[in-house]
């Protein structure tokens, strides 16, 4: 049912020529005005600023599965990375015009420059349009391309809205547009606003010129040609044109078809394809790249969708969001916030409370003056986390179709809001999800980012942070050159990377990726490349950097039941070469080189612990050789202190170095004859980092006493040199560990503390030895926990008694 005002609305007068509806892209006020004007004029055809390749896809806008925001995506067939988007929201005037035409069975056509030409523009073609890549000013634009932003900023075009706002006495163009368009009540004459906007733009173009940008001139020439064709087909006054307000004067200008065709002569071309893709509000809010350049799509969507009382409805949405976050928001808060917003609008001379007024009211009434909750409101409501949907019938590259199939079968729907996904690889569905995400990462489609999980650190668990971005559709199109399915494309790309890789670390990382993604067909090629690179690379640092990835690959291969025998042979060979070459490589290193080598030392040590023993060698042979290498490094004076200290610590942790020997090595490293800087480096290697060195000092009073005695004897001139190193070492400890160490040092020898000359002395709270009888009482409980058999000669009742005794003790 229409209102009396709408019933009395005048029709578009005959003989007036085409109906030009100059709009602001993604403006809800413009969208409402376009709908009202189309209802009044009832044109026989609707022409819309956009790529003509979209004509074949426009009918999909009426599909029930189509849910904006969406975008037309065009990409070059031979270079999918060269792409452009034309985003549309439900409050976009173009989308409203499309839906109106489909609902009234009226032909709708796009009349802007074809994507086959716009994608081919380069810097030499004078592509610059005065804005960064993809950015849209309030009255124009809407497409983002992959052209270099620096190539496009050749001359600055005026911002027409800023000029009009300044003429009206506003210092904010956005606020002016809201007051005169977005918050404007329905007019008696639906065509009057567009006539006024067209007149204003004509005056601006007369004053400032048309900008002279080649692409704009070419676009307008093409649109005029399409308009002439439509006028001949449907009649002069039966065609409606929806375009950026800036173009209205140019489309109505008196020019000849010959002159327009001359501008289009010789345009570059590329073969292109086009489809619909889902878009997000976050992308609409971005001012560069593929964004559409509006700050508050969620707010605009609310204004367009609210039938009445938009401020009250908005405050209710905000209250609901805050309540979901356990904030105590009542109805009284909503009422007071509405009153304050309306009062602010009156004081500021605005026809209706806008986003600025509502935000100020929310901050004061609902957030107690804090901006912290406003960040959540902006992200969830003002911008919004909406992800559009497109129907299955939309064209797509084969790889995209296979990815969509996988997403459905694995029940992993793309979402605009970032979320964390925990996978248990022992479950078939989770294992399939992990394979798909790893394959996509190998293809450069960064839907998921692996992260450290909160749960188990076992190899059967993975944690991912997922967020789907619209430009990933471009990445999928680019990856389509490798294959038609995710599996085949990932396999082909892995093989290609293996052949072209030059660094050993790159090939080992690729081998790990192949195992994680279960690309068994690519592994032979990768393993062959790995063996070749490993045989030719003589740099111990490169070998040490590559080994951990191979060890992890073997470990992941076990949980995924992958044959890793060939990988194990390569890894064992690398480990042996490292054992031979590491001692000479550690001699005469500077501080930076020593720090880097210490990292390699930790990585190799952990990797060797994961490597299986070769069948032609006795068990433990590789681990024994590595232990001998660590002993050499710990005892050599030519090796930097940080490496000697780290080697001693690794031996101590593995039980290969007695505590007395560790204390002796520390005593030598911290002797008065040792340079203070070298001694501090030894301490950093022995007890630094996240290796539990603080607890080692807490429980071994001899080592703590050695450090304390050395530190108090450092000469004053050298103390300032070693202080930063020591501070870095001890600041990494947990606060409780640092507090305990400070208490032990404070007590000192006078409080019964340990002394180098009396290592058996204890301090209050610490025993001088191990109470073996109390320790034995815990063994039955440990057997139950670990699932081991009960000791011979013990029955269950005795075990239970011992369990209780052990717990009591």
pLDDT by residue (tens digit) across 66-91?
Answer: 999 999 999 888 888 888 889 999 99
Q: How confident is the model at residue 48 (pLDDT cuts 50, 70, 90)?
A: very high
The arithmetic mean of pLDDT across residues 670-681, rounded, is 80
Q: Is residue 27 domain-shared with residue 171, that is, in the same domain?
A: yes
How far does CA 240 lie from the centroid of its chain? 42
In tens, the pLDDT along 205-263 reads 888 776 556 788 899 999 999 999 999 988 877 899 999 888 999 998 888 999 999 99
Neighbours of 656 (CB within 10 A): 16
Residue 686 pLDDT greater than 90, yes or no:
no
pLDDT at 156: 41
pLDDT at 671: 79
pLDDT at 109: 95
Q: Is residue 121 domain-shared with residue 42, that is, in the same domain?
A: yes
pLDDT at 6: 45
Q: Is residue 86 domain-shared with residue 158, that is, in the same domain?
A: yes
Q: Is residue 336 domain-shared with residue 449, that is, in the same domain?
A: no
pLDDT at 114: 94
Does residue 270 sit within a domain? Answer: no
Say which range, 198-212, 401-415, 762-776, has the weakest mean pLDDT.
762-776
Does residue 624 sit within a domain? Answer: no
- Chain position carrying tokens 């977005």: 182
Phi–psi pair at 116, nearest 5 degrees:
-60, -25
What is the C-alpha to C-alpha distance for residues 194 and 759, in angstroms, rounded to an integer? 93
Strands of 83-88's sheet in order across:
83-88, 70-76, 272-278
Q: Which two tokens stand for residue 142?
A: 């809407």
* Averaged pLDDT of the chain: 79
What is the C-alpha to C-alpha distance for residues 43 and 237, in angstroms, rounded to an integer? 8
Residue 653 pLDDT greater than 90, yes or no:
no
Residue 293 pLDDT greater than 80, yes or no:
no
In tens, the pLDDT along 257-273 reads 999 999 999 899 999 99
Strand partners, 75: 83, 273
Does residue 430 sit within a domain? Answer: yes
**DSSP-derived 3-state class of residue 416:** coil
More confident residue, 461 or 755: 461
Residue 806 pLDDT greater than 60, yes or no:
no
Does residue 550 sit within a domain? Answer: no
Among residues 482, 509, 526, the one where a domain terminates is 482
Q: Is residue 346 domain-shared with residue 447, that is, in the same domain?
A: no
pLDDT at 736: 82
Residue 290 pLDDT greater than 70, yes or no:
no
What is the C-alpha to C-alpha distance for residues 594 and 590, in angstroms, rounded to an integer? 6
**DSSP-derived 3-state class of residue 661:** helix
Q: Is residue 307 domain-shared with residue 231, that is, in the same domain?
A: no
Strand partners, 22: 243
pLDDT at 556: 58
User: What percent of the chain clears pLDDT 90, i.e. is strictly above it?
Assistant: 26
The arithmetic mean of pLDDT across residues 122-142, rounded, is 39
The arithmetic mean of pLDDT across residues 782-788, rounded, is 79
More confident residue, 331 or 453: 331
pLDDT at 802: 42
Contacts of 623 (CB under 8 A, 6+ apart): 608, 609
Strand partners, 73: 85, 275
Q: Is residue 445 domain-shared with residue 356, that is, in the same domain?
A: no
Q: Is residue 697 domain-shared with residue 785, that is, in the same domain?
A: no
Neighbours of 684 (CB within 10 A): 24
657, 700 Cβ separation under 8 angstroms: no
pLDDT at 194: 87
Residue 40 pLDDT greater than 60, yes or no:
yes
Does residue 628 sit within a domain? Answer: no
Residue 615 pLDDT greater than 90, yes or no:
no
Say which range, 252-261, 319-328, 717-726, has the weakest mean pLDDT.
717-726
Residue 17 pLDDT greater than 90, yes or no:
no
In tens, the pLDDT along 370-381 reads 888 998 999 889
Query: For the whole model, what pTM was predicted?
Result: 0.68
pLDDT at 329: 93
What is the C-alpha to C-alpha distance for residues 672 and 81, in angstroms, rounded to an integer? 64
C-alpha dihedral over 730, 731, 733, 737, to 10 degrees? 80
In tens, the pLDDT along 566-584 reads 677 777 778 888 888 888 8
Q: End-to-end alpha-carbon separation of the chain, Å?
A: 84
Q: Is residue 172 domain-shared with residue 306, that is, in the same domain?
A: no
Q: Is residue 68 domain-shared with residue 86, that is, in the same domain?
A: yes
Does residue 162 sit within a domain? Answer: yes
What is the C-alpha to C-alpha distance for residues 513 and 478, in angstroms, rounded to an integer? 20
- Chain position carrying tokens 């704009």: 216
Q: Is residue 759 domain-shared with residue 804, that is, in the same domain?
A: no
Q: Which two tokens stand for residue 404?
A: 């969509």
Q: How confident is the model at residue 714 (pLDDT cuts 50, 70, 90)?
A: confident
pLDDT at 320: 94
- Provide the number of structural domains found in the chain: 5
Look at strands 108-110 and 419-424 and give their pairing.
Answer: unpaired
Q: How confident is the model at residue 153 (pLDDT cuts 50, 70, 90)?
A: very low
Q: How confident is the model at residue 4 (pLDDT cuts 50, 70, 90)?
A: very low
Look at strands 239-244 and 19-23 and give their pairing.
Answer: parallel
pLDDT at 171: 65
Does residue 594 sit within a domain? Answer: no
The arithmetic mean of pLDDT across residues 607-632, rounded, is 73
Query: CA angle, corner 648, sides to 647 and 650, nearest 5?
Result: 65
Domain ranges, residue 369: 298-384
Among residues 466, 482, 498, the one where a domain terminates is 482
How many angstroms separate the Cα of 663 from the Cα of each of 120, 459, 658? 72, 36, 9
Neighbours of 62 (CB within 10 A): 13
What is the C-alpha to C-alpha distance for residues 44 and 405, in angstroms, rounded to an integer? 40
**DSSP-derived 3-state class of residue 83:** strand
Residue 357 pLDDT greater than 70, yes or no:
yes
Residue 125 pLDDT greater than 60, yes or no:
no
Q: How confident is the model at residue 590 (pLDDT cuts 50, 70, 90)?
A: confident
Q: Is residue 214 domain-shared with residue 232, that is, in the same domain?
A: yes
More confident residue, 11 or 731: 731
Helices then strands, each counted (H, E), the chain:
37, 10
More confident residue, 280 or 334: 334
What would the DSSP string read from start to end of 418-454?
-EEEEEETTSHHHHHHHHHHHHHHHTT--SEEEE--S
How many angstroms separate the Cα of 606 from the Cα of each of 255, 367, 509, 610? 76, 50, 17, 7
Does residue 46 sit within a domain? Answer: yes
Say which range, 9-18, 365-374, 537-546, 699-708, has the weakest mean pLDDT.
9-18
The arithmetic mean of pLDDT across residues 303-329, rounded, is 91
- Chain position carrying tokens 């375009």: 243
More confident residue, 603 or 614: 603
Q: SS in 3 state form for 238-304? A: CEEEEEEHHHHHHHCCCCCHHHHHHHHCCCCCCCEEEEEEECEHHHHCCCCCCCCCCCCHHHHHHHH
The arithmetic mean of pLDDT across residues 166-185, rounded, is 70
Contacts of 430 (CB under 8 A, 6+ apart): 423, 424
More confident residue, 788 or 301: 301
Look at strands 448-451 and 461-466 and give their pairing.
Answer: antiparallel
Q: How confident is the model at residue 612 (pLDDT cuts 50, 70, 90)?
A: low
Among residues 384, 414, 442, the one where a domain terminates is 384
């Amino acid at each position: 049912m229409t209102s009396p005002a709408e019933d009395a609305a005048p029709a578009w007068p005959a003989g007036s020529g085409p109906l030009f509806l100059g709009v602001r892209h993604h403006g809800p006020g413009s969208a409402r005005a376009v709908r009202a004007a189309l209802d009044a004029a009832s044109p026989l055809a609707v022409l819309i600023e956009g790529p003509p390749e979209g004509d074949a896809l426009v009918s999909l806008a009426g599909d029930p599965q189509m849910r904006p925001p969406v975008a037309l995506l065009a990409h070059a067939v031979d270079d999918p990375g060269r792409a452009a988007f034309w985003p549309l929201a439900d409050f976009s005037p173009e989308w409203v015009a499309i839906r109106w035409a489909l609902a009234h069975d009226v032909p709708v056509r796009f009349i802007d420059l074809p994507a086959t030409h716009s994608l081919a523009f380069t810097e030499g073609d004078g592509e610059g349009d005065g804005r960064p890549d993809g950015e849209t000013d309030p009255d124009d634009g809407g497409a983002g391309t992959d052209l270099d932003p620096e190539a496009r900023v050749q001359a600055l075009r005026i911002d027409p809205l800023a000029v009009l706002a300044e003429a009206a006495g506003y210092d904010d163009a956005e606020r002016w547009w809201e007051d005169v368009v977005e918050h404007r009540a329905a007019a008696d004459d639906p065509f009057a606003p567009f006539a006024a906007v067209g007149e204003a733009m004509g005056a601006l173009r007369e004053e400032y010129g048309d900008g002279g940008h080649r692409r704009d001139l070419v676009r307008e020439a093409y649109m005029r040609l399409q308009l002439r064709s439509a006028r001949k087909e449907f009649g002069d006054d039966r065609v409606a044109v929806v375009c950026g307000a800036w173009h209205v004067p140019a489309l109505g200008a008196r020019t000849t078809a010959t002159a327009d065709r001359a501008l289009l002569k010789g345009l570059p071309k590329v073969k292109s394809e086009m489809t619909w893709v889902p878009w997000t509000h976050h992308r609409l809010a971005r001012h560069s790249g593929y964004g559409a350049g509006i700050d508050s799509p969620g707010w605009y969507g609310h204004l367009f969708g609210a039938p009445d009382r938009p401020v009250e409805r908005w405050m209710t949405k905000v209250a609901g969001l805050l309540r979901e976050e356990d904030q105590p928001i009542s109805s009284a808060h909503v009422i007071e916030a509405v009153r304050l917003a309306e009062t602010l609008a009156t004081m500021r001379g605005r026809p209706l409370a806008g986003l600025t007024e509502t935000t100020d009211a929310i901050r004061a009434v609902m957030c107690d003056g804090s901006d912290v909750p406003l960040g959540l409101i902006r992200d969830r409501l003002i911008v919004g986390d909406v992800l559009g949907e497109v129907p299955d019938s939309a064209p797509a590259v084969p790889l995209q179709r296979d990815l969509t199939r996988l997403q459905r079968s694995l029940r992993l729907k793309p979402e605009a809001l970032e979320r964390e996904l925990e996978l248990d690889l022992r479950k078939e569905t989770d294992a399939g999800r992990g394979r798909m995400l790893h394959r996509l990462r190998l293809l450069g489609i960064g839907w998921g980012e692996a992260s450290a999980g909160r749960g188990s650190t076992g190899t059967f668990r993975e944690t991912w942070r997922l967020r789907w971005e619209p430009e990933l559709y471009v990445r999928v199109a680019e990856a389509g050159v490798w294959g038609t399915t995710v599996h085949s494309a990932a396999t082909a790309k892995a093989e290609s990377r293996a052949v072209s890789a030059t660094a050993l670390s790159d090939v080992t990382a690729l081998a790990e990726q192949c195992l994680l993604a279960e690309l068994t067909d690519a592994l032979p090629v990768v393993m062959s490349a790995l063996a070749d690179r490993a045989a030719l690379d003589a740099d111990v640092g490169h070998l040490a950097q590559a080994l951990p990835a191979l060890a992890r690959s073997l470990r992941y291969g076990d949980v995924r039941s992958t044959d890793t025998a060939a990988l194990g042979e390569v890894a064992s060979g690398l480990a042996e070469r490292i054992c031979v070459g590491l001692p000479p490589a550690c001699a005469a290193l500077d501080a930076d080189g020593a720090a880097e080598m210490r990292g390699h030392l930790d990585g190799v040590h952990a990797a060797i612990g994961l490597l299986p023993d070769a069948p032609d060698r006795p068990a433990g042979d590789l681990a024994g050789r590595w232990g001998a290498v660590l002993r050499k490094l710990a005892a050599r004076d030519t090796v930097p202190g940080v490496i000697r200290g780290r080697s001693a610590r690794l031996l101590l942790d593995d039980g290969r170095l007695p505590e007395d020997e560790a204390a002796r090595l520390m005593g030598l490293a911290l002797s008065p004859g040792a340079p203070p800087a070298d001694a501090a480096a030894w301490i950093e290697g022995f007890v630094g980092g996240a290796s539990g060195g603080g607890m080692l000092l807490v429980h071994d009073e001899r080592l703590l006493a050695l450090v304390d005695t050395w530190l108090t004897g450092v000469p004053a001139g050298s103390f300032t040199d070693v202080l930063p190193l020591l501070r870095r070492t001890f600041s990494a400890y947990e606060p409780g560990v640092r507090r305990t160490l400070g208490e032990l040092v404070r007590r000192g020898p006078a409080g019964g503390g340990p002394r180098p000359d009396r290592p058996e002395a204890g301090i209050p709270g610490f025993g001088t030895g191990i109470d073996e009888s109390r320790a034995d009482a815990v063994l039955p409980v440990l057997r139950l926990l670990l699932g081991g058999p009960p000791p011979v000669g013990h029955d269950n009742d005795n075990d239970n008694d011992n369990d209780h005794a052990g717990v009591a003790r």
